[in-house]
Structure 1
Amino acid sequence: MTALGSFEVGLLGLLAFIFGLDYIWVTPLGIWRPVVAGTLTGLILGDPITGLVVGALLEFVFAGLFTIGGGTVPEAATGTIASVVVAITTGLKPEAAVPLAIPIAVLTMNLEIVVRSFDAVFTHWADREIERGNFGAIPLINIVGAVPWGLSRAIPIWGFVGALAINPQGVKAFIDSLQVIHVGPLTIRFWDAMGVAGAVLPALGAAIMMKMMLSRRNIAFYILGFALAAYLKLSLLAIALIAGSIIFALYLFTHREVLEGTESSSTVTPPTGKATARDFLRWFGVSWFIQSSWNYERMMGTGFAHGMLEVEKKLRKDPEEIKSWLRLHNEFYNTEPHLHNAIYGMVISLEEQGADQDTIRGIKTALMGPFAGLGDSIMWFTILPIAFLLGASLGVQRNILGPIIALLIWIPVSWAVKYYTLVYGYRYGLSMAEVLKGEVLKVFREAITGFAMAIMGGITATYVRATTPIVLAAYGGQAIKLQPVLDQLMPSLLPLLFTLFTYWLIKYKGYSYGKAVVVLFLVAFILAILGILG
């Protein structure tokens, strides 16, 4: 059992605050993801391996939970910190600590809703400074807009961990008192049942990803990933290599005409603009703050004005003209924050060429929706979950390389996407938009969603853990265990059934993610109490 002092409480709250900044600043580091957040929490408490295992398990639970547009979902980082703290301070096994993440994650989600409304204050503040001609205040206003996001993570952690630190012995005694509960003739092993339910919860992450991506075109890849894991017992990395090779070859040969046709196309216009490498690096750096003061009213508007400030000051010498253009950029704007850079680069290039405000407004309005759909599916529902799930697959085996490998995949790929969409958006303007909306990207999107479904199939068979201890009394008095019979019928059958059940709740019953996770947990928990799962 690890004691919590005021220093640890303060440090964990600060860590949660930093996770909030990493999240709203477009995840440049990825440290708010559970497999990394859990490990860092464990390091602070002197037990990184327990933190790693809890975080890895929660990575599978939160795999498909991402905010789109104005939506909110249970927040992964604070839930992870809370679960790791409980596991380490009380000695609770990681699987049993996993369900404890959900209440804190939901609490943080509700605080985030408050922040999304409150941050309109910063947008209106920017309006006033623009009208006063105090343009230099815009960067500070936008960046400070991230502080409430960080506090929405830190406050629940300070409250929860602080309360735990006040009476750790009492918390430990309470947990011990729940080990065995007698309800009439029924003996309930509470934490064993919690562990069973926690091992089933990764079905939520797989089901959410399936809801976003599963289709008739890629269901075969889900089956492929499931079969490779269930029958051949391959690791997630091996499944990624095999499925990736098959999908690459399949799409290369079946869509050769589209790919070769694009390579020989003459519709791409010559590069425009004279930006230097230093210009691109400066714009790239500012672009990470596009969501800093995100709010329900204008979403990324103030972030866009921040990004365009130096460009407008360079292009316009009349303060009234600068004021007019910054008003335009502080209007409503929202898209996926990595592919935003393609629009950002186009706008800079077109303004340098003398485009008027109606043209710029039309470009932003026309492209932010299509780029949002494309970027969300590629970045947040494919690349990020695949990177961190591969890391989590090592983390559950207590391999400290898990979070490191996840970051080594996510950081270079996400930074490259964000940088090069800016460069090519600037250089090729609207022809870049045609490429991003054209057939090649459609083929790429289909291929990468198929790859993601193969990974989800592997996760279903490997990391959704459900078995039954039921013993059947066969003819002649010989007892036969039910689980080997199910394994002969289909290995990992129960994990598949739980995943499909959760998918049915979300896709066809219309359950919210929060409601679905409660139902999934209760079903698994009750079945464990009744001795059906074990």
Structure 2
Amino acid sequence: MTITEYFLLSLLYFWASSTSLSFGVGYYTIYRPVLSGLLAGMAVGDPFVGMVAGGVVNIIYIDFVSTGGSFKGDQCLTAIIAALASVMLKLSPLEAAAAAYPFGFLGILIWKYRLNINSLFVKAYESKHENGKKPNISLYDGVYPQLTLYVMSTAVILSAVISMFLLKSVLISIRGALFIAGLFLVYMSVCNVLVKIGGKRGILLFAASFLLTLETDPDSNILFGVFMMITFVISNKDLYFNRIDSSKSGIISKRHLVYSWFIWMNYSHSCYSYDRLQGMAFAHSMKNIFRKLYGNTEAAHDAIHRHSEFFNTEPNMGTPIHGCIIAMEEQHVQDKDTAGIMFMKKGMMGIAAGLGDSYTQVVLSPLYLSMSIMLCMDRSYYMALIPMLMLTFTILTLSYNGFMKGYYEGKESLIERIDIVKKSRLKIYFPYIFAGILGVSVGKLLMHDSVMKDLTIHAAVGIISIVLTALKNRRSLKFQ
């Protein structure tokens, strides 16, 4: 590999892991294996081979959810290494995914160290404030953590790639074992996610779509159109396009709100730490607001610091909190009722807890990603980018609409949003739509020349996966 290729891969890994350069949607797009595999493959000369390898990794991580600082595996790093193994070592997608899978655990260590290091930036910010030095929140929430993340990303990529090449001869010599391991990872992932979300109907829909795909090999482009039509019909359009009464006028203009939202979207997880989580990011997003309300004064710095306390919410569903708090800060410029503002902030954070992840990470992300995987497995590589673009648009619209409604309509906008999601038809029917798409995706994967080998192996691995999943599920039920 060349120095340029190393640089591009380190930049990709940093970009995917950082919200600061991806407008907050990188976590749902660039970080996901089907797209990071494509970009990694592009860096080393074969984007489509990389995309298929990433698609297999995406199936393995299809039920990935990260909440409140938890992190079960680095799917982006896994996808990058899988793409390299597939392109440069000529491993099949399943073999490459199995070879890359252990590298995902390296990402867990990086994530934990990152949260600890970010805590040092929080302490440095606090120390500066206590000494009356008026620290710039942009440095401690943005510049310093992101530079550190890039250095860490570069070190991780370098270590992972060197390790892969050192193991090259071993990996090539055990291709048969890697194939079985990759198949096992895919089947186990599918079984687990179906048990979690689908129930009996979901399992039946998966089985039906899987068998029909193997029998008829349907055109994924047509299926994508059908699934998108269904999704559009049952989606909750009020979440994205609900009319906002923006007749309210005050010190804060629409331009200030948009800039505050822009900062939040780009830095919501920039200085994510164990002790504050998103607290520094919330304060960062309020910087221009307080500069407008108080000017470059001691009061502005104190107000920014006040909002650096612990805060955590789903960064897109929870944006009504930001808008509402900005409106309250504007209203209470004169009376300085900060206690009431902070009480409202904590109360709204509690109301929104868990709601956003159950919709964005559990419904929207796997729904659109599964469509992208389906198209990728059918070699419709360019079409596979469309669901990712649609997911990006959906997330951005959801976030922006909530931010503005929070400012103009107050806490009622968050309560309204929660009510809409709870009654969401998309959330209700998601398990069945998803199971059908997943069945097609796995069917298309097995129809690849490099995958469809001895059917006895598929049957044996499939049966073992089903039995292990059943035993695991039975054991968990006993403890409930």
Aligned equivalent of 1:448, options 414, 427, 446 = 427
The answer to whether the Cα contact below 8 Å between 1:301 and 1:329 also exists between their aligned partners in 2 is yes
Is 1:56 aligned to residue 55 of structure 2?
yes
Q: In the alignment, which residue of structure 2 is the partner of 1:312?
A: 290
Q: In the alignment, which residue of structure 2 is the partner of 1:102?
A: 101
Q: How many Å apart are 1:92 and its aligned residue?
A: 1.5
Q: In the alignment, which residue of structure 2 is the partner of 1:201?
A: 185
Aligned equivalent of 1:174, options 161, 165, 170 = 170
> What is the one-letter code of the residue matched to 1:388?
L
Partners of 2:18 and 2:366 lie apart in 1 by 19
Change (3 A) 1:402 1:318: closer
Q: How many Å apart are 1:80 and its aligned residue?
A: 1.0
> What is the one-letter code of the residue matched to 1:410?
L
Partners of 1:372 and 1:404 lie apart in 2 by 31
Change (3 A) 1:235 1:448: farther
Q: How many Å apart are 1:379 and its aligned residue?
A: 1.1
Partners of 1:323 and 1:211 lie apart in 2 by 50
Q: Higher mean Cα deviation, 446-455 or 117-126?
A: 446-455
Aligned equivalent of 1:338, options 287, 298, 316 = 316
The answer to whether the Cα contact below 8 Å between 2:198 and 2:435 also exists between their aligned partners in 1 is no
Q: How many Å apart are 1:460 and its aligned residue?
A: 4.0
Q: How many Å apart are 1:118 and its aligned residue?
A: 2.0
Partners of 1:428 and 1:350 lie apart in 2 by 11
Q: In the alignment, which residue of structure 2 is the partner of 1:162?
A: 162
Change (3 A) 1:250 1:386: closer
Q: In the alignment, which residue of structure 1 is the partner of 2:146?
A: 146
The answer to whether the Cα contact below 8 Å between 2:51 and 2:376 also exists between their aligned partners in 1 is yes
Change (3 A) 1:269 1:20: closer
Aligned equivalent of 1:291, options 251, 269, 282 = 269
> What is the one-letter code of the residue matched to 1:197?
A
Q: In the alignment, which residue of structure 1 is the partner of 2:391?
A: 410
Partners of 1:158 and 1:311 lie apart in 2 by 41
Higher radius of gyration, 1 or 2:
1
Aligned equivalent of 1:9, options 6, 10, 14 = 6
Q: Any unmatched runs of 5+ in structure 1? A: 179-189, 253-258, 472-481, 487-492, 512-534
Change (3 A) 1:287 1:206: farther
Q: How many Å apart are 1:146 and its aligned residue?
A: 3.2
Q: In the alignment, which residue of structure 2 is the partner of 1:396?
A: 377
Q: How many Å apart are 1:23 and its aligned residue?
A: 8.7
The answer to whether the Cα contact below 8 Å between 1:272 and 1:427 also exists between their aligned partners in 2 is yes
Partners of 1:153 and 1:449 lie apart in 2 by 38
Aligned equivalent of 1:282, options 236, 247, 259 = 259
Q: CA RMSD of the aligned region, Å?
A: 3.6
Change (3 A) 1:287 1:502: farther
Partners of 2:233 and 2:88 lie apart in 1 by 50
Q: In the alignment, which residue of structure 1 is the partner of 2:201?
A: 220
Change (3 A) 1:96 1:251: closer
1:471-506 residue CA offsets vs partner (Å, 9 max, x unmatched) = 8xxxxxxxxxx99xx9xxxxxx985x6675565466
Change (3 A) 1:399 1:498: farther
Q: In the alignment, which residue of structure 2 is the partner of 1:514?
A: none
Partners of 2:221 and 2:321 lie apart in 1 by 34
Partners of 1:38 and 1:54 lie apart in 2 by 7
Change (3 A) 1:94 1:317: closer
Q: Higher mean Cα deviation, 282-291 or 123-132?
A: 123-132
Aligned equivalent of 2:303, options 325, 329, 339 = 325
The answer to whether the Cα contact below 8 Å between 1:64 and 1:385 also exists between their aligned partners in 2 is yes
The answer to whether the Cα contact below 8 Å between 2:256 and 2:288 also exists between their aligned partners in 1 is no
Change (3 A) 1:205 1:134: farther
User: How much identity, in percent, do the aligned residues show?
Assistant: 20
TM-score (norm 2): 0.82
Q: In the alignment, which residue of structure 1 is the partner of 2:85?
A: 86
The answer to whether the Cα contact below 8 Å between 2:95 and 2:182 also exists between their aligned partners in 1 is yes
The answer to whether the Cα contact below 8 Å between 2:207 and 2:439 also exists between their aligned partners in 1 is yes
Change (3 A) 1:42 1:142: same
Q: Any unmatched runs of 5+ in structure 2? A: none
Partners of 2:416 and 2:429 lie apart in 1 by 21
Partners of 2:101 and 2:255 lie apart in 1 by 44
Q: How many Å apart are 1:133 and its aligned residue?
A: 4.7
Q: Higher mean Cα deviation, 281-290 or 269-278?
A: 269-278
The answer to whether the Cα contact below 8 Å between 1:382 and 1:449 also exists between their aligned partners in 2 is no
Q: How many Å apart are 1:73 and its aligned residue?
A: 1.3
